[in-house]
Amino acid sequence: MRRKRNKTVKVSKGGWPLPLFADALLLSLLLMGVALCCQSVYGLGDSRRLLTLTAVGLGVVMAVIRALPRFRWAVLLLLAEGYALFTWLMWDPLTAGVRATMAYVGLVLGGSGTLPDPFPAAACLLFLCAALALLALPLGWAALWLRSAWAVAAMTYPLLLPAFLADRLPWWPDFLLLLTCWCALFLTSILSKRDRAARARLTLAALPAAGCALILLTLAVPKERYVYPKWAEKAKGVILSGDLAFSLPDFVANGLQVGGSSGRVDLAGAGPLSLSSRTMLRVKTDVPGRIYLRGRSAGVYTGTSWEPLDDAAYEELGDLGGYEPLNFPALTAVGQDWHAVTVELTGAPGNCFYVPYSLLTDADELVGGSFVADSHIQKGFGVGSYTVYYRPEAEPDHAMRPLEGIAAQAEEAYRDFVYEHYLEVPEEAEQALYTWAERNAGLHFEVDDSYRKSVLRGYWSEMEGARLIGYALAATTTYDTNVPAMPEGADFVDYFLNQSGKGYCMHYATVATLFFRMVGIPARYVSGYTVMVPDSGQVDVPESAAHAWVEIYLDGYGWYPVEVTPTYGGEETEPEETAEPEPTPTSTPTPIPTPTPQSSAAPAPTPTTAPAGGQDEGGMGGDGEADLSTLAWLAVVPVLWLLLFARRRIMAFVWRRRLWGSGTNDAALWAYRLQRRLLPWGGREHPEVEELASKAWFSQHTLTEAERKQAAEAIEGERKRVDAALPRWERLAFRWLWALR
């Protein structure tokens, strides 16, 4: 027999317009927060207005469907059919948008994407709107039907997780909007799904309250750059250990890293270093000693970052007759011994191979990867290890043999490309370098005549110039891994040289690259790892071995590594202070080179001795402690306590209202539900409560006030008994997390 509704139950005031408005507002803001956060954190074009309108429209549609008294599933089915038809008609632009969006996200997070040319901005925007429409259904179900903050967070947070682990945050107002919706859902989830009017009123009150609380928290928290705590570093190590790293999409795996190599280098965020000792590479070779494993190079300085050259620039270069620029140095040592190096990728980022200089392996011999222009070797998906061959003796000295035949022609063609694209210095950085050079024009250093004899005469002036630049930087700046990030709007070079005077390899490599260019030496920024190979030939390379250095171009030879980071000489320990280098004395003091305006003449390359350092930059040193101050936590704790307190007070109000303010039959049923919720905490079943609940549900009898009082007092007494019997920590969860007391 069906239960007869209690005629004493009051009808919720407010009617359907208020719940409809509250649901539409909540879901619209939630979808807007998700869309704008993804747009800002992944840099997906300037599409905020259209995404906002799409989110609002979808929120209203889902709220209207939720308010329908019947035929909801029929309406949803019609919408699904319309969506399928739209997908079929727009399949080509949608697939183009998917590819472009994934490539852009990969490029932003790990520098592993290759953007299509021209970039299909309209197709990308179409895909984003279609994806938002697809997300609206499960998100609306979780927010409007389930009223579950946890389900909503589970659907939205993973979309931003790769960016968070890559230390990229969305624009704070966008993320604040999303957090406000989460908090409002958390506060309103305790109300009954039947009482839509009360839930709507609480939603409209909770949204501005949560927003104001989060804004106050934002104003109270210091704005220093966040540094990963130790537990986060360990978690990333676990995620990327073993085969798991290669089961993730490459752009996600790249985004989980701090040190290593990337196609785009964010100089604006170059704050205190925080690298762990977890293993990134395992290297095996028969050549002991120091070896530099280069990852990616970058050739365009923007003032706040290093970027790769545009694809359009490489279209002018052609295929160089089948030769790869990274192979040129090895071809100057024909007849010399070659050696193998095997590298196992255990978590290194960049989606690239880390290879030694004087690389002999060419494109036809490369397994598991492919050359990308003159920049790097792209790793194939799922590749966990690789072997390449190189000639460590292929140095630009007297034993070097000039390139011949087609190889010489290819090098000459590439040389023109190098002088066209690797000598550019932005005006602001150029002025900063001039200011620094003029201020330190009196510096003199003595050079070693024996060094002059150790290099090919044609490269002497460039080699020595590079050494002097390194000496001048060491004498005028301080190596420091705890430097703060540069101020917003500043130029990285100007801030380092003329204001801060402190930095690590990222700073030194950037300044030196631009200084080399100003004196006419083609140069580019390179990042990777430095490895000290023991006699056994096997070594694990930690994340703290990440480093950055400079490559300069030597005519007829190729790219040559230059170390300019002072006191960089140990792999196991981080330099504690900057000691001024002591050049070997010679009879003739040499002044620091003064930059002169560039000319079209091809300057002679200036390699310096191969980098000789320990771990530094791409993220070196540091123990990864959190950088949040005490003030931040003093602000966070009260807000969290306030939210828990508000939830407990609201739940207590709901308890009292259901037990004493509703109809007698509903009160008995509510007492029974509460009894079931108390059982996992050690609660006991009360026969009188079960009897009254059965009577209220299955019969047409209306319970009396005395029967309501009997059920309510029984359940109130049971709550007190359970609360008193619980241990202290369980009691805290019982009261504050579950709000059962």
- Cα–Cα distances in angstroms (integers) from residue 415 to residues 243, 373, 407, 559, in the given order: 41, 14, 12, 10
| Phi and psi torsions of 261, nearest 5° | -130, 150
- pLDDT for 522: 92
**Where does residue 49 rank: exposed (0-12), middle (13-18), buried (19+ CB within 10 A)?**
exposed
Element (H, E) at 560: strand 558-562
pLDDT at 347 over 80: no
Which range among 419-423, 435-439, 590-594 has the greatest average pLDDT? 419-423
Cα 627 to Cα 68, 122, 223, 234, 237, distances in angstroms: 50, 41, 10, 17, 20
The 3-class SS string of 259-282 reads CCCCCCEECCCCCCCCCCCCEEEE
Q: Which two tokens stand for residue 195?
A: 């009482």
Across residues 500-528, what is the average pLDDT? 90
Query: In terms of DSSP H, where are the helices of 273-373?
Result: 311-317, 328-331
Q: List the structure tokens of 151.
A: 């389900």
Whose tokens are 């095997």? That residue is 342
Distance (Å) of CA 607 to CA 143, 192, 272, 551, 560: 61, 73, 29, 8, 6
Task: Name residues whose C-beta falls within 8 Å of residue 431's C-beta, 6 or more positions apart in sequence.
Answer: 494
Res 267 pLDDT > 50 = yes
CB 296, CB 376: distance < 8 Å? yes
Tens digits of per-residue pLDDT, 671-701? 888 888 888 888 888 888 888 888 887 777 7
Name, in order, each residue with C-beta under 8 angstroms of 472's C-beta and a sequence gap of 6 or more: 440, 443, 445, 592
Q: With contact defined as beta carbons under 8 Å apart, do 712 and 659 qualify? A: yes
DSSP SS3 for 145:
helix
- Compute the distance between CA of residue 191 and CA of residue 494 in angstroms, rounded to an integer: 57
* Per-residue model confidence (pLDDT) at position 97: 82
The DSSP line for 648-695 is: HHHHHHHHHIIIIIS-HHHHHHHHHHHHHHHGGGT----HHHHHHHHH
What is the DSSP code (8-state) at residue 367?
-
The residue-averaged pLDDT of 446-471 equals 63
pLDDT class of 279 with cuts at 50, 70, 90: confident
The per-residue pLDDT for 639 is: 59
The CA radius of gyration of the chain, in Å to the nearest whole number, is 33
**φ/ψ (deg, to 5) at 605:** -65, 155
Query: Could you give the C-alpha distances from 608 to 157, 177, 323, 449, 677, in angstroms and in order?
Result: 48, 52, 25, 15, 73
Question: Residue 212 and residue 176: Cα distance in Å, rounded?
Answer: 10
Q: Which of 274-278, 481-485, 614-618, 731-735 has the lowest mean pLDDT?
A: 614-618
pLDDT for the residue 733: 77
pLDDT digits (tens, 9 = 90+) for 16-43: 688 888 889 999 999 999 998 888 777 7
% residues pLDDT > 70 (the chain): 74
Tokens of 362: 């060419």
Residue 674 has, within 13 A of its CA and on its CB side, a CA count of: 30
Identify the residue whose tokens are 């101050």: 629
Calculate the average pLDDT of the chain: 75
- pLDDT of 147-184, one tens digit each? 888 888 888 888 888 777 666 778 888 888 888 998 88
pLDDT at residue number 525: 93
Structure tokens at 258: 């701090």
pLDDT of residue 390: 92
Task: Kindly tell me if the per-residue pLDDT of 254 is higher than 50.
Answer: no
Mean pLDDT for 520-524 is 90
- pLDDT value for 637: 55
Query: Cα 587 to the chain's mean position, in Å?
Result: 52
CA-to-CA distance for 459 and 262, rounded, in angstroms? 30
Helix count and strand count (H, E) for the chain: 24, 17
Q: How confident is the model at residue 625 (pLDDT cuts 50, 70, 90)?
A: very low
- Give the integer Cα–Cα distance in Å for 94 and 583: 61
The proportion of the chain whose per-residue pLDDT surpasses 90, expressed as a percent, equals 10
Structure tokens given for 337: 């011994």
pLDDT-based confidence at residue 117 (cuts at 50, 70, 90): low
Run of H or E residues at 531: strand 523-533
Query: Would the pLDDT of 467 be above 50?
Result: yes
For the cut 70, the answer to whether the pLDDT of residue 726 exceeds it is yes
Q: Is 227 helix (H, G, I), strand (E, B) or coil?
A: coil
- More confident call, 363 vs 9: 363
Pick the more confident residue, 114 or 481. 481
Candidates 741, 637, 737; CA nearest to 186 is 737
Give the model's pLDDT for residue 341: 92
User: How many CB atoms are closer than 10 A to CB 193?
Assistant: 11
Tokens for 613, please give them.
């350092």
pLDDT for 638: 57
Residue 631: what pLDDT?
41
Helices (H), 496-629: 505-518
Task: Give 720's pLDDT tier (boundaries 50, 70, 90).
Answer: confident
Look up residue 672 and give its two tokens: 């029974």
Among 109-113, 125-129, 630-634, 723-727, name the one with the lowest average pLDDT: 630-634
Q: For residue 25, what pLDDT is reported?
A: 92
pLDDT-derived band at 252, boundaries 50, 70, 90: very low
Structure tokens at 152: 């909503």
User: Residues 691, 694, 696, 699: what is their CA dihedral angle, to the nearest 10 degrees?
Assistant: -120
Q: What is the pLDDT of residue 388?
A: 92
The answer, yes or no, to whether residue 621 has pLDDT greater than 60, is no
| CA-wise closest residue to 110 among 230, 258, 280 | 258
What is the band of 9 on the pLDDT scale with cuts at 50, 70, 90?
very low
Question: Is the pLDDT confidence value at 585 over 50?
Answer: no
> What is the distance between the alpha carbons of residues 221 and 626, in angstroms, rounded to a whole number?
14
Confidence class for position 12, pLDDT limits 50, 70, 90: very low
Which of 549, 535, 545 lies closest to 574 in space, CA to CA? 545
Count other Cβ atoms within 10 Å, centred on residue 109. Answer: 29
**For residues 390 and 336, is the Cβ–Cβ distance under 8 A?**
no
Range of weakest confidence among 221-225, 285-289, 616-620: 616-620
Give me the residue spans of the domains in the chain: 17-220, 265-591, 647-737
Strongest mean pLDDT among 255-259, 548-552, 599-603: 548-552
List Cβ neighbours of 513 (8 Å cut-off, separation of 6 or more).
301, 523, 524, 525, 550
In the chain, the amino acid numbered 133 is: A
**Contact indicator for 132, 71 with CB cutoff of 8 Å:** no
Residue 609 pLDDT > 80: no
Residue 654 has pLDDT above 50, yes or no: yes
Confirm if 306 and 364 have CB atoms less than 8 A apart. no
Query: pLDDT at position 111, please?
Result: 46
Q: pLDDT-based confidence at 462, cuts 50/70/90?
A: confident
**Calpha distance 388→365 (Å, rounded):** 9
Judged by DSSP in three states, 708 sits in helix
Tell me the CA distances in angstroms from 595 to 441, 464, 519, 602, one per residue in order: 11, 15, 5, 15
Q: 511 φ, ψ to 5°? A: -65, -45
Q: Which of 144-148, 219-223, 465-469, 527-531 has the lowest mean pLDDT?
A: 219-223
- 82-86, 104-108, 384-388: least confident range: 104-108
Query: Does the pLDDT of residue 322 top 60, yes or no?
Result: yes
CA distance 512 to 496: 12
Most confident of 211-220, 310-319, 553-562: 553-562
Predicted local distance difference test score (pLDDT) of residue 61? 92
Task: Estimate to the nearest angstrom the gap between the alpha carbon of 283 and the chain centroid.
Answer: 27
Residue 724 has pLDDT above 90, yes or no: no
pLDDT band at 422 (very low <50, low <70, confident <90, very high): very high
